[in-house]
Amino acid sequence: MRFQNKLNSIHARLLITGLIPLAMLSLVLGWYMISTQSKELLANMHDTGRVATNQMASSAEFALYSGNQEMLRTLGDSILDIPSVSGMLFYNSADGQTVRIGSIDISAEQMPWDFDSGKPFFIDDHWYFYSQITLQHRSMEDYDEVGEPVSEQLGWVVVSLTNKILLHKQRRAIFGALIVITLGLLVAAWISMRIGRSISRPLEGLTQVVEVMEAGGLESLASEEGPLELRKLSFGINQLATSVKQGNVRMQSEIARATAQLQITLIDLEDAMEAQDQFLARMSHELRTPLTAVIGFSKLMSTELDDRKRDEHLRVIERSSTMLLTMIDDILEFSKAHLGGFTLEEINFDINQWLRDTMAIHQQRADEKGLEFSLDLGDDVPSQLCGDPVRLTQILANLINNAIKFTDEGFVAVKLRCQSIEDDIVTLECCVNDSGKGIAAEKIPSLFDPFSQEDTSINRRFGGTGLGLAICQRLAQAMGGDVSIESTVGKGSSISFSCQLSVAKAEAPAADAVAPPEQLLKGLIVLVAEDNPFNQKLIVKLLEGYGATCMVANNGLEAVELANEVHADIIFMDLHMPVVDGVAACESIMQQSGDSPPIIGLTADITQAEHQRMLSAGAISVQAKPLDEVKLVNAMLSCLSDQRMVSESFEGGLLASVIPVDELKTALFENLDKLENQLSAGGKSSLRQIIHDLMGLCGLYGMSQLRELVLEFRATYGTLDVAENLSKVEEIRRHIEDFLVSKSQ
């Protein structure tokens, strides 16, 4: 494994990469050198043999012609001085005699058949070179003329050259080449090792530094040495380590900050939980007090009482019920602000009229306590403003109510001034002064905390939940202002709030704003996803009365399929449907394409969380059941960017005209029959859909009391037995009978 790791190292790979090509090149060069030198040595030997043979053939003409063997031997000995020549053989054609000189083993009979071709031949480590010996003489003609030369063949000579010297030279050449190759490889290996080491050492150093950094030692930095690329790599690693170290410092700082913030949040949360626990503990007692009074005096009403006692009991019941309603309203209002914030309207209103109405509402209570109740409206306050008059008067009414509540004698004065007007933005300041009992300075900061009151006896004496000022502060902040308190114990209090409104916008002429009802939605194709048949019929008739064309889906799955297959301009989607609910269907339709039609949610659920679920799924808006005709039509026009609007005073009356009393009664009683059957069978878990359908129907024709009865049933049926639940259903049935009878008259 260790050897394998070494082979896998960069140094080994660089060495192998450098040596293999060099070794192959050296082998090729060595082979080329050896083969070339061998060819040259052989060629030189052949040249020597041919030269020696030709020389002997020319020199031995006379000796062979005369048969002088001694002369032949003398000539042969001179040739034997050449190192490669080992011997020679002379052959005389005239007498067939041969003369051997030196060491030559070949005989005339061993000569090859093509020996006179001039090519040497090789036998037994000897090269034999052949040449004819001829005598050329000129013939004498008459008149002393010399004729053409005449060649006379005297014989031939064979010179033998040994191959040992050639082999010796070849071995020396191979040995020399091997030495050169070896030295070249050694030099190449040394150079490769040097070059590889110059690269691998910095890389090994970088590897060690990275391992140290991986273990957390970010203080170690790599040495910036070696080739340019490695220096850049080292610089990059050092920069990365520095960045990581700085990031760690920032992360630790953020963690420390987040931890500190979390600790603060936990402390605040614990304080809030403690305050809510205290509130729940207190409210569980305070709610029981008026409830006990309502229940007790309601039972006494069934006994025989004179008119004075009856009126007194009714007054106690009314006061206790009002106290309960105030507590519940404050809790719901605060919950709405806590979950989703307040939704502020932008409408034109006359502030003088709204202030007069608000003062008139509280005038009777002030007169009952003998208080001087006054309004001082500054001349600099514009009469026509744009904003949310309901929220504005909600703050003012809460402050006036508190002032009257805690003032036994003296005055309650309301003063309204304009702080500034910039770019059509009007900043108002309203102050409510009273001569009541006052508030201790140390108690003032806690008054804006939810569920907090000056002391625990206030609720018992004056009622309330301790949420009023918290709601007022959040409303003022939502309107760009705030609430402040100044008070002295025994002398009274001064509570001020500021808010920002706009100068009233010019309204378009009414003739351009409203079209004839039957033309308002003409040409629109609306997909109505509603599982309740009666609601289907109601919505379809309503929309067709305004000129729209409707398609109906009985569940969420049908709505998704129809939206994918058929073009629709608007989709009405009920939240609670079988197979696929409205939220999932809305998400699926939005995912089908980027050009999906606008979706308007429909629900009988009043909770903000349910509305938010539908909006998060992609709905443009959510309309509450029972449907408000004007809001429904305006919502459709708004999501289509249609500038036409139906005013609140519009008297189209289409919603009422499409609801026959008999059909509504049948639909309500069918749901009540289902409810009674489920209760009799003990199936409380399946009542949700039935109650949901009732909630969607009970607001029609202004049946708000029926809605309250259904809401009460929904809140209590889980804690009651079958008989009590059936009794409540029967009470709802009687209420429907009485109401619809009066409506049909």
Asked whether residue 709 is domain-assigned, the answer is yes
* 4 belongs to a structural domain: no
CA distance 407 to 414: 14
Kindly state whether residue 118 falls inside one of the protein's structural domains: yes
Confidence of residue 467 (pLDDT cuts 50, 70, 90): low
Pair 395, 476: CB distance under 8 Å: yes
pLDDT-wise least confident of 50-64, 110-124, 259-273, 614-628: 110-124
Same domain assignment for residues 461 and 360: yes
602 & 589 share domain: yes
Do residues 416 and 313 both lie within one domain?
Answer: no
Q: With the C-alpha atoms ordered 233, 234, 240, 244, is the resulting torsion angle positive or negative?
A: positive
Do residues 496 and 565 both lie within one domain? no
Query: Which pLDDT band, with edges at 50, 70 and 90, does 497 fall under?
Result: very high
Q: Determine the structural domain holding residue 410 and report its residue range.
A: 342-503
pLDDT digits (tens, 9 = 90+) for 671-698: 888 888 888 877 655 677 777 777 766 6
Structural domains in the chain (count): 5
pLDDT of 466 reads 55
Evaluate if residue 273 carries a pLDDT over 80.
no
Which of 465, 460, 482, 462 shows the shortest CA–CA distance to 473? 482
Q: What is the pLDDT of residue 513?
A: 43
Task: Determine the pLDDT at residue 98.
Answer: 80
Residue 276 lies in a domain: yes
Q: To which residue do tokens 């059509």 refer?
A: 424
Residue 70 tokens, joined: 């001694």
Q: Is the pLDDT of residue 421 over 80?
A: yes
Instruction: Let me know whether 315 and 347 are in one domain.
Output: no
- Whether residue 1 is predicted with pLDDT greater than 50 in this model: the reply is no
What is d(CA 430, CA 452) in angstroms, rounded to the nearest whole number?
Answer: 23
Least confident of 37-41, 200-204, 386-390, 589-593: 200-204
- Quick one: CA dihedral 199, 205, 211, 217, positive or negative? negative
More reliable by pLDDT, 616 or 272: 616
Residue ending a domain, among 611, 626, 652, is 652
Tell which of 324, 340, 356 closes a domain. 340
**Dist. CA 331–CA 467, nearest whole Å:** 7
Q: Tell me, yes or no, whether 665 and 618 share the same domain.
A: no
678 in a domain, yes or no? yes
Count of all residues that appear for the chain in the document: 745
The arithmetic mean of pLDDT across residues 165-178, rounded, is 80
540 plus 492 within the same structural domain: no
Q: Which residue type is seen at 136?
A: Q
Do 637 and 667 fall within a single domain? no
Q: Is the pLDDT of residue 518 over 90?
A: no
The pLDDT confidence band at residue 415, using thresholds 50, 70 and 90, is very high
CATH number for the domain harbouring residue 627? 3.40.50.2300
For 386, the 3-state DSSP assignment is strand
In a domain, 224, yes or no: no
What's 280's domain CATH number? 1.10.287.130
Q: How confident is the model at residue 290 (pLDDT cuts 50, 70, 90)?
A: low
pLDDT above 70 (res 503):
yes
Using a cut of 0.75, tell me whether the model's pTM lies above it. no
In DSSP notation, 6-25 reads HHTSHHHHHHHHHHHHHHHH
625 has pLDDT over 60: yes
Q: Rounded to whole angstroms, what are the CA distances from 693 to 602, 625, 732? A: 12, 10, 14
Residue 188: which H helix or E strand, with range?
helix 164-214
Q: What pLDDT digit, counting tens, does each position of 627-663 carry?
A: 777 888 888 888 887 777 766 544 444 454 455 667 7
What is the spatial distance between Cα 563 and Cα 444, in angstroms, rounded to a whole number? 57
pLDDT for 353-391, tens place per residue? 888 877 877 787 888 889 999 999 998 889 899 988 877
Amino acid at 710: V
Higher-confidence position of 312 and 143: 312
H-helix or E-strand containing 116? none
> Residue 156 falls within a domain, yes or no?
yes
Question: Per the domain annotation, does 188 fall within a domain?
Answer: no
Q: What is the pLDDT of residue 463?
A: 45
For residues 648 and 585, membership in a common domain is answered with yes
Looking at the structure, do residues 394 and 481 belong to the same domain, yes or no?
Answer: yes
Q: What is the CATH number of the domain that holds 349?
A: 3.30.565.10
- Grouping H, G, I as helix, E, B as strand and the rest as coil, residue 346 is coil
313 and 401 belong to one structural domain: no
pLDDT one-digit tens code per residue, 563-582 = 888 888 899 999 888 888 89
Q: Given pLDDT bands bounded at 50, 70 and 90, which one contains residue 289?
A: low
pLDDT over 90, % of the chain: 8
**Cα-based distances in Å from 481 to 447, 493, 614:** 18, 20, 31
Please state the φ and ψ torsions of residue 482, each to the nearest 5 degrees: -160, 175
Among 621, 652, 683, the domain boundary falls at: 652
Q: pLDDT tier at 410 (50, 70, 90 boundaries)?
A: very high
271 shares its domain with 282? yes
Read off the pLDDT of each residue in 453-462 and give the average, rounded to a whole number. 46
For residue 538, name the pLDDT band (cuts at 50, 70, 90).
Answer: confident
Minimum mean pLDDT among 450-464, 516-530, 541-555: which range?
A: 450-464
pLDDT tens-digit map of 426-456 = 999 999 999 988 888 887 776 776 555 544 4
Banded model confidence at residue 268, pLDDT cuts 50, 70, 90: confident
